[in-house]
Amino acid sequence: MGERLRSTHQQKGVTLIETLLALFVIGVAILAFGALSSYITLNSQVKHRAAAYNLALEELEALRDLGFAAFADRDDASPAAFMNVAYPFGIWDVTSTTDAASGSAVYAARESGVGTAGVTGNAVVPSATNFEATLSTFTAEAKVRVLSDSVRSDWEAGFYFRYQDENNYYLLALGDDRITLTRRSTDTTGIISNSTLYSATPTIQQDTWHTLRVRFTDDVSNNLSISLAGSTIFTTTEDTIPKGHIVLTTQNAAHAYFDDIHIATDTSNIPPAEPSWNRTWDFDTGETIGAVAAGWGRFGINDLPNTTPAIANDNAELTITEHAGNPDLKQIVATVQYEGVGGLQSVSLQTIISRYGTAK
């Protein structure tokens, strides 16, 4: 009987020790998890702040390529958007489909489901100079297919060219039985204007491939021409915006496929002679299905966490003022905002630009 009691007490003692050890281990694990969570949060905040700093610095560097006349005053009450930079926006990935224009894959711009008006997606076409806005004379071609699940009747898809920023570009876009060529530009007083250079109503249907082409040369006359389905439909003389990016775009909640993107920087060919394409993307070779196209990845302000993810480029702004009342000196402040611990965070960098060159 005594042996059984000692055995019972020993078993209870072992059980108590195991329980205490288990509680100790759980406590250590909780502390470790909390420390790890704090580290991850801190590390994430450090990365976001570093990214915001680099984006603000990139903007100040990009401004040096602009003439002094571009810096119209914009104070805190009416700040400007970032200038002379292009950022990706929206959901883009290489998609395998039997509906490809060639091969078996396309570059897809996906609609987020919210049906928001305005820009749905922008994909900056890589340049030979790492996304710098350098294209002036070129021929660019893209095949575009807008899907029937696009949720708005005013959908558009196409591409920007000589795109400098969201307030300086040309846009060739397809819509429901329409094609338009528009220009958005900012004058030396900061006034933004929108102009329709061409508009027509050909048959443009969803779930059908359409080939768009732009040719911009340095000719004195008729230096801009646009083509649809291989036929030139409009020519004009145009020099408002001197150079920029090519950017694939979808507007007003369009869900679209893009394929067979071609760029030729030698425009010496005379149509109907074909250009000598020196950059081509068919999204079949060297691509990962479900990922951003190879070489197209570019971190931008829309990749930082913010409370309005359906609105492009709204978390960066410029203020431009005369420095010390001197009209020949502009003080420029670039601010990038992002959501962080405790709410909205921001990084601001500034420089002074002189009418006669960089002052600081």
The pLDDT tens digits of the residues spanning 191-201 come to 999 999 999 99
9-18, 68-77, 268-277, 299-308: which has the minimum mean pLDDT? 9-18
Q: Which residues, listed in sequence order, are joined to residue 170 by a DSSP beta bridge? A: 161, 183
Residue 266: predicted pLDDT: 82
- Cα 208 to the center of its chain, rounded Å: 26
Residue 221: predicted pLDDT: 76
C-alpha distance from residue 350 to each of 60, 220, 224, 335 (Å): 8, 39, 37, 9
Residue 360: predicted pLDDT: 47
C-alpha distance from residue 283 to each of 139, 275, 311 (Å): 20, 20, 27
Mean pLDDT of the chain: 86
pLDDT at 8 over 60: no
Band of residue 353 on the pLDDT scale cut at 50, 70, 90: very high
More confidently predicted of 315 and 4: 315
pLDDT at 112 over 70: no
More confidently predicted of 115 and 199: 199
Q: What is the pLDDT of residues 314-324, one digit of tens each?
A: 999 999 999 99
Give kind and range of the element (H or E) at residue 91.
strand 91-96
The side-by-side arrangement of strands in the sheet containing 357-358 is 316-323, 326-340, 343-354, 357-358
More confidently predicted of 236 and 342: 236
Band of residue 84 on the pLDDT scale cut at 50, 70, 90: very high
Torsion of Cα atoms, 228 then 232 then 237 then 243, to 10°: 50
pLDDT at 39 over 50: no
Residue 354: predicted pLDDT: 93
Band of residue 19 on the pLDDT scale cut at 50, 70, 90: low
User: What six digits make up the tokens of 348?
Assistant: 């601001």
Q: What is the mean pLDDT of residues 225-236?
A: 95
Give just the sign of the alpha carbon dihedral 224, 159, 116, 253.
Answer: positive
CB 109 within 8 A of CB 254: yes
Q: What is the mean pLDDT of residues 280-301?
A: 95
Q: Identify the structural domains of the chain with CATH numbers, from first to last.
A: 64-78+313-358 (no CATH), 91-298 (2.60.120.560)
71-85, 233-247, 342-356: which has the minimum mean pLDDT? 71-85
Q: What is the mean pLDDT of residues 34-42?
A: 46
Band of residue 268 on the pLDDT scale cut at 50, 70, 90: confident
Task: Give the chain's end-to-end CA distance (angstroms, integer).
Answer: 94
Residue 37: predicted pLDDT: 47
29-33, 156-160, 189-193: which has the minimum mean pLDDT? 29-33
d(CA 80, CA 319) in angstroms, rounded, equals 6
Residue 10: predicted pLDDT: 46
pLDDT at 34 over 70: no
65-69, 228-232, 252-256, 271-275: which has the minimum mean pLDDT? 271-275
pLDDT at 6 over 60: no
CB 226 within 8 A of CB 240: no
